[in-house]
Amino acid sequence: MRNIYIIGVGLIGGSIAKDVKKLNPGISIHGIDANETHLQEALTLKLIDKKANFEDLKHADLVIVSIPVDATETLLPHILDVVSEDTLVIDSGSTKASICKAVAKHPKRRNFLATHPIAGTEFSGPKAAVEGLFMNKTNIICEIEKTAFKLQERALTIFKIMGMNMRYMNPEAHDKHIAYVSHLSHISAFMLGKTVIEKEKNERDIFDLAGSGFASTVRLAKSSPHMWTPIFKQNKVNVIETLDEYINNLVKFKEFMQTDNFDAIFKDMENTNHIKDILNGIK
């Protein structure tokens, strides 16, 4: 494998480029991005070796699609149109059902592997790329049986070298589960940040009084709206379901407060403390 093309040279695409280049310096990495500034930054940071365009994808051994999920859904069929019969195409989107449906009947569906590496930060762009970002992280793979076996092997070899642990799900299960453990977390952070900003008109007070607890809880509110709005749109049904359950718990908490039922609040928090045991088992 000599030629890798990364479409979207931001946090995820750039981090993949860093890992691949470290593991195999002889590989040539080509970047495609609608943002010319990002492309130039990626060149300057040596995340990529060359700029490229969509027509160049015919020379690719591997294409990594790391752009907002709505753009992936639109562009993926056209990417498959261009690539050769032996090219592996993977994506890194946080939703899977809509993307998989977009190429379900494509003649080169066997060239595509739907993946979601559960890794990232609240930052974006080429400067946010981190070496080793995927080490010991989970990579969810969907519909692997629809990908050509030799391309499956190529992908799994790359993922294992990068230190990722594989999990296999169907796209619908992925979207349902990820709504709880990822999408709801981002909504909570955005809405907490919104609530505090709207209530505390004097921003100096926020920064003077904010402790590490607030900072860590609201961290995800720094994430890109360009990336997250399409995610919420594509996973709308599951996100609304999680919000219904979350809001119900908030309403119950408020009712306990109003009725001075602090025993119930204590019990809820004590039961929820079990999450530390669950998370301690996740590496």
- Give the pLDDT confidence score for residue 121 in this predicted structure: 82
Q: What residue segments make up the domains of the chain, in order of their start?
A: 3-170, 174-280
Sheet of 112-117: strand order equals 50-51, 28-32, 3-7, 62-65, 88-91, 112-117, 138-142, 165-169
**CA-based nearest residue to 157, from 80, 62, 59, 57:** 62
Helix axis angle for 262-272 and 236-258, nearest 10°, is 140
pLDDT surpassing 60 at residue 88 = yes
pLDDT surpassing 60 at residue 110 = yes
Asked if residues 75 and 44 have their Cβ atoms less than 8 Å apart, the reply is no
Which tens digit of pLDDT belongs to each residue from 158-179?
Answer: 999 999 999 999 999 999 999 9
- Give the pLDDT confidence score for residue 207 in this predicted structure: 65
DSSP one-letter string for 119-173: ---S--SGGG--TTTTTT-EEEEE-GGGS-HHHHHHHHHHHHHTTPEEEEE-HHH
Q: How many of the other CB atoms lie within 10 Å of CB of 163?
A: 14
Exposed/middle/buried for residue 244 (C-beta within 10 Å: 0-12, 13-18, 19+) = exposed
- Give the pLDDT confidence score for residue 281 in this predicted structure: 57
pLDDT surpassing 80 at residue 52 = yes
% of the chain residues with pLDDT over 90: 81
> What's 174-280's CATH class?
mainly alpha
Q: What's the CA gap between 271 and 108, in Å, rounded? A: 49
pLDDT surpassing 70 at residue 100 = yes
Q: Report residue 96's pLDDT band, with 50, 70 and 90 as the boundaries.
A: very high
Residue found by looking up tokens 């079990």 in the block: 274
Which tens digit of pLDDT belongs to each residue from 3-24?
Answer: 999 999 999 999 999 998 888 8
Helix axis angle for 184-199 and 236-258, nearest 10°, is 50
Span 181-208, average pLDDT: 84
Q: What's the CA gap between 267 and 174, in Å, rounded? A: 31
- Give the pLDDT confidence score for residue 191 in this predicted structure: 95
Q: What's the CA gap between 107 and 248, in Å, rounded? A: 46
Strand partners, 62: 4, 88
**CA-based nearest residue to 232, from 123, 105, 98:** 98
Q: Report residue 202's pLDDT band, with 50, 70 and 90 as the boundaries.
A: low
- Both tokens of residue 46? 């040596």
Does the pTM surpass 0.75? The reply is yes
Map 45-90 to HEC letters: CCCCCEECCHHHHHHCCEEEECCCHHHHHHHHHHHHHHCCCCCEEE
Which tens digit of pLDDT belongs to each residue from 210-224?
Answer: 667 788 888 899 999
CATH of 3-170, one of 3.40.50.150, 3.40.1190.20, 1.10.150.50, 3.40.50.720: 3.40.50.720
